[in-house]
Amino acid sequence: MIGFLTLLKREVMRFIKDALDTIAPPTVDVILYMLIFGLALGARLGEVQGVSYIQFMMPGLILMSIIRNSFYNPAYSLFQSRWDGNIADALSSPLSYTQMALAIILGGVARGLLVGVLVLIAALVLTNLPFAHPILVLVYGLSVSIAFAGLGCIVGLCAKNWEGINTVNVFLLDPLVLLGGVFYSLEMVRGIAVIESLTRLNPFTYIIGGFRGALLGTTEADAIIGLILALGLGVVLVMLSILLFRVGYHLKA
Amino acid sequence: MIVPAISFQHLRKAYRNLIALDDLCLDLQPGEFFGLLGPNGAGKTTSLHTIIGLVKPTAGRVLIKDLDAVRDYRQVHRLVGITFQEFVLDAQFLNVREILIYQAGYFGVSPKHAGSRADELLQQFALWDKRASRVQELSGGMKRRLMLAKALMHDPEILILDEPTAGADVELRHQIWEMLQDFHQQGKTILLTTHYLEEAERLCERVAILQKGRLLAVGSPKELARQRDQHRLEDVFLELIRSDKQ
Ligand SMILES: Nc1ncnc2c1ncn2[C@@H]1O[C@H](COP(=O)(O)OP(=O)(O)OP(=O)(O)O)[C@@H](O)[C@H]1O
Ligand SMILES: [Mg+2]
């Protein structure tokens, strides 16, 4: 257990010691979105699903922060450890491969939830969020965080260079999140065929919708589908990370 | 029968069509000081890495005190301390002392215990003044010493050292020799690789000479020299390597 906690501590200290580069930018970034889209433009958009636009977009922004930061920490940490060679320290220790994968994933969860909470606090300064189903909020936040930390772990193992990590962000994370209805409801894009169908096909629409429902009490997407998707994704991606560690993918010659 | 500290059994490693290790069979006795010698690319690092599971054997196996390096990797890792040929140091955000403490942590040593152990080793390896420095601020020789200290944090029974004196100045080399002899006296098994044959001659009870993954000779430096009417291990080495190439 000490071994596992040590590696987890390393993964957490890694971003805490560097908070100005790891925590501050994504938080500030999202606060800017809140100010521009929420306060400035949102005022002209009126109500969406029975809440003000700024309220409507907050759950998506919080989830977006959790996703990105849960992903980045394991992806960069693992890739850098492979790059520098110091991954060999963990690999030659008595840690099990499962422990290694889980510690690295939990490091990502810690960063994702920390940024998520900071963004939530900023959101509460700008508007009110009713926390309709607090337990569900927590379950959503946690399972999404675990899923994307798992993805980060996988990408950290698979990436061949630094750019590879960013590529995943641009081609996978951003489209999933942005076309998952962070900034609009299905109602708002009805008739714009491309956007509407992409949004309907996107599993994130249901996860973000469910999270929004939990936080605001709105009910566009089916909360249970979102939850099942989030939990399922978490389980699959974590298992896959553990599997890659076990076979030593890009870790052993 | 005594269980060997390390037993390479018909070990074979192929990288695509390059054969890095070819049916390597070799036993190290507990407490033995053993040198693995060979030209660049002979397969020294590859064989050391199979012990801790960084290299997956293509065929054959490695046993460490009867534990399988692949199957029983966690128990094996507890017994072994390793220094790598390259500088493997977690330099992302840790300072010198923290590197040692985290290393011990991975091996399950409690933080309190690790702190005093780190201080002890920092003094022993003359790194005390650098304890708060970043790795980037260390000289090559200091990094070598830090890697050695790191390998010793969990007080392993078996020490595996991949060119521990590469890049060390004369004085440091002598210091490292003394330390290694100390460990040897404490009964630890030591397996080292080196390109300095007088170093192997001075330290090792037995050496193995490897070329292209094949074992050319095993024995004590004296014995090997006597068999070939030579005085120095270096001459034995050159003779074996050259005649094997023909
Ligand atoms: N990851 C790898 N992929 C492909 N080939 C490799 C890999 N690692 C080592 N080799 C090859 O295996 C052979 C043995 O390499 P190894 O590093 O074990 O040699 P060595 O005896 O330690 O050499 P040196 O004295 O230069 O350190 C070399 O031909 C090397 O090119
Ligand atoms: Mg080598």
Tens of pLDDT, residues A87-143 = 999 999 999 999 999 999 999 999 999 999 999 999 999 888 888 889 999 999 999
pLDDT tens-place string over residues B172-190: 899 899 999 999 999 999 9
Q: What is the pLDDT of residue A224?
A: 82
Taking a C-beta distance cutoff of 8 angstroms, is the pair A65, A27 a contact?
yes
Q: Which residues of B touch A86 (CB under 8 A)?
A: 88-92
Q: What is the pLDDT of residue B69?
A: 95
State the average pLDDT over residues A70-82. Answer: 95
Taking a C-beta distance cutoff of 8 angstroms, is the pair B173, B198 a contact?
no
- The verdict on residue A251 lying in a domain is no
Q: Which of A64, A75, A71, A27 is nearest to A181 (CA)?
A: A64
- Any atom of ligand 1 within 6 Å of the Cβ of B41: yes
Q: What is the pLDDT of residue B54?
A: 94
- Any atom of ligand 1 within 6 Å of the Cβ of B24: no
Higher pLDDT, B150 or A190: B150
CA distance B232 to chain A (A): 36
Q: What is the pLDDT of residue A225?
A: 87
Q: Is B160 on the interface with A (CB under 8 A)?
A: no
A240 Cα: distance to centroid of ligand 1 (angstroms) = 30
SS3 B94: coil
Which residue numbers of A have CB closer than 8 Å to B's CBs? 1-3, 5-7, 9-10, 13-14, 17-18, 77, 80-81, 84-86, 88-96, 248, 252-253
Q: What is the pLDDT of residue A220?
A: 60
Residue B155 identity: D
- Token pair in block for residue A64: 């977006």
Q: What is the pLDDT of residue A38?
A: 81
Taking a C-beta distance cutoff of 8 angstroms, is the pair A149, A66 a contact?
no
Higher pLDDT, A36 or B33: B33
Q: What is the pLDDT of residue B180?
A: 93
Q: What is the pLDDT of residue B244?
A: 80
ipTM value of the model? 0.91
> Which pTM value belongs to this model?
0.93
- Any atom of ligand 1 within 6 Å of the Cβ of B49: no
Q: Which residues of B touch A90 (CB under 8 A)?
A: 106
- Token pair in block for residue A200: 């309907």
- Any atom of ligand 1 within 6 Å of the Cβ of B194: no
- State how far the Cα of A35 lies from the Cα of B127, in Å rounded to an integer: 51
How many interface pairs between A and B have CB atoms less than 8 angstroms apart? Answer: 85
- Token pair in block for residue A163: 């750019």
Q: What is the pLDDT of residue A42?
A: 80
- State how far the Cα of A244 lies from the Cα of A159, in Å rounded to an integer: 13
Question: What share of chain A has pLDDT > 70, as a percent?
Answer: 99
CA distance B231 to chain A (A): 39
Residue A85 identity: G
Yes or no, beta carbons of A3 and B107 under 8 Å apart:
yes
Domain range holding A152?
Answer: 2-246
pLDDT tens-place string over residues B28-45: 999 999 999 999 999 999
Give residue A41's pLDDT band: very low, low, confident or very high (50, 70, 90).
Answer: confident
Q: What is the pLDDT of residue A221?
A: 57
**Which residues in chain B come in under a pLDDT of 50?**
none
- The verdict on residue A253 lying in a domain is no
Residue A69 has pLDDT above 70, yes or no: yes
Give residue A190's pLDDT band: very low, low, confident or very high (50, 70, 90).
Answer: confident
Give the mutation candidate from A93, A245, A246, A249 for the B interface (greatest B CB count, under 10 A).
Answer: A93
Bridge partners of B19, per DSSP, are B14
Longest alpha-carbon distance in chain B = 58
The label of the residue with tokens 């951003």 reads A174
In this structure, which long-range contacts are made by residues A243-247, counting pairs with CB atoms below 8 Å and at least 24 apart in sequence?
A: A244/A101, A244/A153, A244/A154, A244/A157, A244/A158, A245/A97, A245/A98, A245/A100, A245/A101, A245/A157, A246/A97, A246/A98
Yes or no, beta carbons of A86 and B90 under 8 Å apart:
yes
How many domains is chain A partitioned into structurally? 1
CA distance B154 to chain A (A): 10
Q: Which of A142, A130, A144, A112 is nearest to A214 (CA)?
A: A130
- B20: phi then psi, degrees, rounded to nearest 5: -85, -35
- Token pair in block for residue B199: 């170093």
B193 Cα: distance to centroid of ligand 1 (angstroms) = 13
- The verdict on residue A252 lying in a domain is no
